[in-house]
Amino acid sequence: MATDPQTQSSTDQSSNPPGDPQTQSAQSNPSIPLTMIKNPLEDPSNPYFLHHGDNPGNTLVSQPLTGQDNYTSWSRAMLLAISVKNKIGFLDGSISKPSISDPVLHTAWIRNNNMVISWILNSVSKEISSSILYDESASTIWSDLKAKLCLSWVHLWRC
């Protein structure tokens, strides 16, 4: 089935970040209606998208992290919850902080990273919370918790 080149071009642009040269050229191209270009911050499949139900007060898991004794089950539950929200890249560091030269994406990254940090803080004990409160990225917090609490060789393969 043949597709209209205009439609195909605008579809291809929808996954590009706002500062991307292809998106900018599409926005400056009068043959592509601006209504057909999707903002990645409004695309539910994009990790920078925040749903109106996502808020920093959400608790994503039923049992808070208390220490080494429940780290493995807590981390698995958190990974599941964060993956449903399409934010795994903020935990594993695969979504790195964009340059300040792209203010839209930079601000979106800060907002999403802070949201994930809030979800982590709401899901750990007060003692653990105080030790991670001032870390600046969710991936740093995640790797610090793993390094501190996943010490047992028996559980290492699950961490």
Average pLDDT over residues 117-141: 96
Q: How many residues does the chain have?
A: 159
For residue 40, what pLDDT is reported?
76
Beta-strand ranges (E) seen in 35-114 are none
Residue 76 domain boundaries: 68-158
Q: Are residues 23 and 90 in the same domain?
A: no
Question: Between 40 and 77, where is the model more confident?
Answer: 77
Q: Are residues 76 and 123 in the same domain?
A: yes
Residue 46 included in any domain: no
Alpha carbons 141 and 159: distance in angstroms, whole number: 14
Number of domains making up the chain: 2
Q: Please say whether the beta carbons of 113 and 137 come within 8 A.
A: yes
Q: Is the pTM above the cut of 0.75?
A: no
Name residue, tokens 């935990």. Answer: 91
